[in-house]
């Protein structure tokens, strides 16, 4: 039983890692679009954030998986379920990360932009060298909360029959008429979250957040 749950844990970990790898940089792009001076671009990204945050993640997973079939007639057999899950998760979490980034960027004093401009820094260089490092320090706690939530949200992959840990635990529990697999899965989720929380705390300290 434990070996089967561990195989499901590997799938959950894959969803978690690939989602973060895509959503963290994508969130920064979305935040930039949301804050763009162009009203059309800003409106498009505001609408994206509004739709993603206003609809269930489960529905978004179904949309990302089935949309290519219904819109373009693509064969679902050639569309990996795990890929669809990761794309849906990345699009969802990017919207939340974007708002966190935006709050962090807006918290930086405007005078720092003006001082950098007076020193001859370009806007891009000012952002990358001065604004972004400070923003990262300020948003780490909020990002950490979302990252912990992501660990638990991986269980929603069952929506399109991705066999991650929670799905396996339910199958084993039903087949053996016992709650033990579900309890074991809960323990694994807790350990996974504990490791993630510990890692985020280490990152905060490494960045000297409280200084």
Mean pLDDT of 12-21: 96
Query: Where do the structural domains in the chain lie, given as residue ranges?
Result: 2-206
- C-alpha to C-alpha distance for 64 and 62, rounded to whole angstroms: 6
SS3 162: coil
Q: What is the pTM of this model?
A: 0.89
- Give the other-Cβ count within 10 Å of 101's Cβ: 27
Query: Is residue 211 pLDDT above 70, yes or no?
Result: no
> Whole-number mean pLDDT of the chain?
89
Domain 2-206 has CATH 1.10.3720.10: yes
- Whole-angstrom CA distances from 23 to 125, 178, 194, 208, 209 are 23, 37, 21, 24, 22
Q: pLDDT tens for residues 85-114?
A: 999 999 999 999 999 999 998 888 888 878
Residues 6+ apart with CB under 8 A from 29: 94
SS3 209: coil
- C-alpha to C-alpha distance for 209 and 51, rounded to whole angstroms: 32
Give me the DSSP letters along 26-86.
HHHHHHHHHT-SSHHHHHHHHHHHHHHHHS-HHHHHHHHHHHHHHHH---GGGS-HHHHHH
Which among 84, 66, 83 is positioned nearest to 75, based on CA atoms? 66
Which among 75, 56, 53, 25 is positioned nearest to 153, based on CA atoms? 56
Q: pLDDT tens for residues 128-144?
A: 888 888 888 889 989 99
User: Of 8-17, 51-60, 74-83, 97-106, which gets the smallest average pLDDT?
Assistant: 74-83
SS3 129: helix
Q: What is the DSSP letter of 177?
A: T
Query: Is residue 210 pLDDT above 70, yes or no?
Result: no
Which among 3, 10, 5, 2 is positioned nearest to 168, based on CA atoms? 5
């Amino acid at each position: 039983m434990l070996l089967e749950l561990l195989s499901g844990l590997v799938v959950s970990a894959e969803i978690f890692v690939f989602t973060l790898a895509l959503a963290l940089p994508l969130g920064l792009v979305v935040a930039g679009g949301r804050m763009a001076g162009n009203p059309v671009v800003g409106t498009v990204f505001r609408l994206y954030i509004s739709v993603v945050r206003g609809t269930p993640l489960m529905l978004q997973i179904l949309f990302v998986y089935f949309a290519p079939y219904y819109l373009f007639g693509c064969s679902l057999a050639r569309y990996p379920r795990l890929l669809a899950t990761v794309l849906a998760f990345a699009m969802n979490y990017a919207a939340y990360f974007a708002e966190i980034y935006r709050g962090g960027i807006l918290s930086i004093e405007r005078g720092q932009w003006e001082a950098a401009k007076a020193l001859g820094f370009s806007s891009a260089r000012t952002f990358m060298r001065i604004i972004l490092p400070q923003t990262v320090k300020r948003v780490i706690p909020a990002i950490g909360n979302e990252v912990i939530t992501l660990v638990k949200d991986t269980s929603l992959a069952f929506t399109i029959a991705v066999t991650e840990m929670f799905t396996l635990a339910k199958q084993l529990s039903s087949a053996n008429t016992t709650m033990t697999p579900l309890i074991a899965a809960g323990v694994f989720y807790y350990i996974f979250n504990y490791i993630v929380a510990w890692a985020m705390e280490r990152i905060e300290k490494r960045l000297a957040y409280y200084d």
